[in-house]
A and B are shown apart, each in its own frame.
Chain A
Amino acid sequence: MPGSAWLRAAAVVVVGVVLAACSGEGRRGAGGTPTELRLAIGGESEEGYDPTLGWGRYGSPLFQSTLLARDADLDLVNDLATRHEVSPDGLVWTVDIRTDAKFSDGEPVSARDVAYTFTAAAKSGGATDVTVLREAVAVDEDTVELRLTKPQSTFVNRLVSLGIVPEHAHGPDYAREPVGSGPFVLEQWDEGQQLIVRRNDAYYGAKPAFERVVFVFTGEDASLAAARSGQVDVAALPPSLATGEIPGMTLTRVKSVDNRGIAFPFRPDEGSTTAEGRPIGDDVTSDQAVRRAVNVALDRRALVDGVLNGYGRPATGPVDELPWHEPAAAVGDNDPEGAKRTLEAAGWIDADGDGVRERGGTRAEFPLLYPAGDSLRQGLALAVADMLKPVGIAVTPQGESWDVIRTRMHADPVLFGWGSHDATEMVNLYSSAQAGVELWNAGMYRNPAVDAELDAGMAATDPQQATAHWKAAQRLFGPGADAAWAWLVNLDHTYYADACLDLGEPQVEPHGHGWPITQGIAGWRWTC
């Protein structure tokens, strides 16, 4: 039968697959807890594992250790450092390091290695920003001085994120053969496929519970397939794919500061443009009453439930639940009546009865730009338009390329997504010095009092002091005051994890899903 030719051919192929696919079983055999952990959480660093090029700037650097770390509450704790101190002028950071730390090749970690690492990172042109460093000097075996060109309290994040590399083993091949003092050592890296790491038994900290950890670099669909077929213990998946039960796995939600919010053009439209010729200003959103009304009218809980399917939290600002978050800056929302009162008090009246308010011939309408192709932001933009219509504000969501958004972002509101453990981001979003720089202060927001607080926070030499200034700034630019932005939601990051795996207390994760969960990987445990 000719028809069976295909069947026969298919059978041959299938049998071949079956015969050859009988490996990978028995990892959990022989009773007891498995000694190997398999994760499909993305995070492959194609350029290798060199911290001076930016490896490990969030999540665990695995192979290297950092001077400081952040605990589950994001508070600073010592790691390689035993003490750090900032000079009163904020220009010199003195760090003492522990003397019992060894690199995986047996050499001790010295202050010279720390100085070398910071110097190399400052010059490398990689993805970590250490440009504020003037010089790094080892003053003795276990003390290093990091001298800065200007005070920068957020420099502490470099101490948290920059893994220390050995001066004697750092060269062009280092990224593929990393040597460090971290909890793991590299065993094998199959580029584009998987990273196999082994426990570093010489690690000075608490030893991980796993002898080996395998990171599988699969796409989202293959990650889900791997989780469903029991081939991985943890899979990072977007909430849209995290539907349904997987036997033996639990769906873990991790809070994040991966936020979405609307940046309002802050200045009125006076016909001015940037040096590149991009228009600046909008006569509707430049009115504080309009920005406040938008903030008050929105029902953020409904956005979370409707657009994020419940995987998220209402956002009150750019740094929700980070240590420097100011809860007092928040306002009550889902209050269309309050929004109407605010608008009417400011003179926005719907005189012609077309459902849109106007004032002095200006209609209360604006477009809302979002990157086309981002279905989440599209959903948010449409929902925002629906919520503001009854209030008398007409919003037209428009999906555009980043190219177009860049040219229009000073004159039209844009739906951005941010979220970082580094307070520098907040400064960049609200400081008038960053107006029109990158995508940061796109609305060209400017309030000298906010600038003063942000500058003072940057210049602070003590974290508590800096936090006080960050909080003061939030009270000034927050929705109850200048309402420079309307923050909408914080996403939840979703992971399928083996029901027997205890991931500890996860941190509030930054923008970027997947690798950040490794922050506490050395403390993960099997519970059954």
Chain B
Amino acid sequence: MALDVLTTAPRARLVAARASRLVLLLTAVAVASFTLMVNSPVDPVAAYVGADVASLGPEQRALISARWGLDDPAHERFLRWFGNLLGGDFGFSLTFNRPVLEVIGDKFLASLALMALAWLLSGLLGFALGLVAGVRRGRFADRAITWFSYALASAPTFWVGLLLLYVFAVSLNWAPVCCAVPIGVPADEVGLGDRLAHLALPAITLSVVGIAPVVLHTRQAVVDALASDHVAFARAQGERGFGLVLHRVVRNAAAPALLLQFGSLGELFGGSVLAEQVFSYPGLGAATTTAALGQDVPLLLGIALFTTVLVFTGNLVGDRVHAVLDPRSRLTDVRGRR
């Protein structure tokens, strides 16, 4: 039996292979990010000082450079950072005046709620719409949903965010205009409802990134499944309508949708940079912008590594879930390794 290959010893080998791949990937990401940062035209000291840079003398500039460690050659800075990293020290963020891990931890908690909600929203909504479109192929519903998906796919995230902001926050005054908590309210008086209200618009904005591909892939998978022999066989046995779709199509259609969803964590993070900017939401995306504009190398590298792990894990989980849903993929997996 081919499936037995997946048990015991080879599985350990699989984990080791994946782990070493992750380490290689992280190293490559760190080197590439660092090279980009060091060669960026932004002058770190000018970015740090801001508008007042003209009344700052060379002596003070030298002091700042020394505090930031900018005087050493680039490769030395990188090796020192890398050495500290191996010892578990991610460094100190100068724009936030705190250890990098603390900053990432804080910001990620805020982003996690946003990204998880947006991710669920785009997954569920996208899958449902794709299912409807596939089942009603060629009809009005299909055309409407497909058109809607193309419209979303071509709409820039920040633009959708601004549109929602103006409709719901300004014109209708239903939603708050910014932030993750209400303006002027002490932290201990902020309830779950407040947090959800502040999450709604950014999460909807962010979910826009992911909906369209899920809809379109699901639609195609449903169309393929409906045209397949096993559905023809089920129809011949008298299965019809909702039951047929639920029992014979959903599982086939879910596989690509899930793979896409797990594979889209990178785009989700990219979208959060824009969505958080529009709604002044204090997450990892906003911190990335701050770090990049302020040339905060330790923080930006930390965020790059962190998101790499996130995306890698997402893809890994996506593969496993896909394998569970669709046993055929496991077979190709095994054959491919031989």
Q: Which residues of A contact B (CB under 8 A)?
A: 1-3, 5-6, 9, 13-14, 16-21, 23-24, 27, 36, 38, 46-48, 50, 53-54, 57-58, 123-131, 154, 157, 175, 187-188, 190-194, 196, 212, 214, 216-219, 221-222, 225-226, 228-229, 231-232, 401-403, 418, 420, 422, 424-425, 428-429, 437-440, 510-512
Contacts and interface: CB of A to CB of B under 8 A. Distances in A.
A440 B52 CA distance: 12
Nearest to A405: B41
B179 interface: yes
B37 to A, nearest CB: 15
> Of residues A47, A123, A124, which shows the largest number of chain B Cβ atoms within 10 Å of its Cβ?
A47
Interface in B268-302: 277-283, 286-287, 290, 294
Contact of B176 (A21, A54, A154): A21
Given A46-B95, A46-B96, A229-B173, A24 B182 contact: yes
Contact of A188 (B107, B125, B186, B280): B186
A229 B177 contact: yes
Contacts of A192: 107, 280-283, 286-287
B79 interface: no
Contacts of A193: 178-181, 280, 282
The B interface is mostly helix, strand or loop, or mixed, namely helix
Interface of B: 41, 43, 48-61, 63-64, 66-68, 94-97, 106-107, 121, 125, 128-129, 132-133, 135-136, 140-141, 144-145, 148, 162, 165-166, 168-170, 173-187, 193-194, 196-197, 200-201, 204, 277-283, 286-287, 290, 294
Nearest to A53: B97
B184 A196 contact: yes
Contacts of A403: 41
Given A194-B184, A231-B177, A20 B55 contact: no
Nearest to A516: B51
Nearest to A421: B55
Nearest to B176: A21
Contacts of A190: 179-181, 187, 282
Contacts of A123: 63
A124 to B, nearest CB: 8
A131 B54 contact: no
> Of residues B55, B59, B162, which shows the largest number of chain A Cβ atoms within 10 Å of its Cβ?
B55
Contacts of A21: 174-176, 197, 200
Contact of A13 (B166, B185, B204, B280): B204
Contacts of A126: 64
Contacts of B201: 17
Contacts of B145: 2-3, 6
> Of residues A47, A130, A221, A401, which shows the largest number of chain B Cβ atoms within 10 Å of its Cβ?
A221
Contacts of B178: 193, 216, 218, 222, 225-226
A123 B63 CA distance: 8
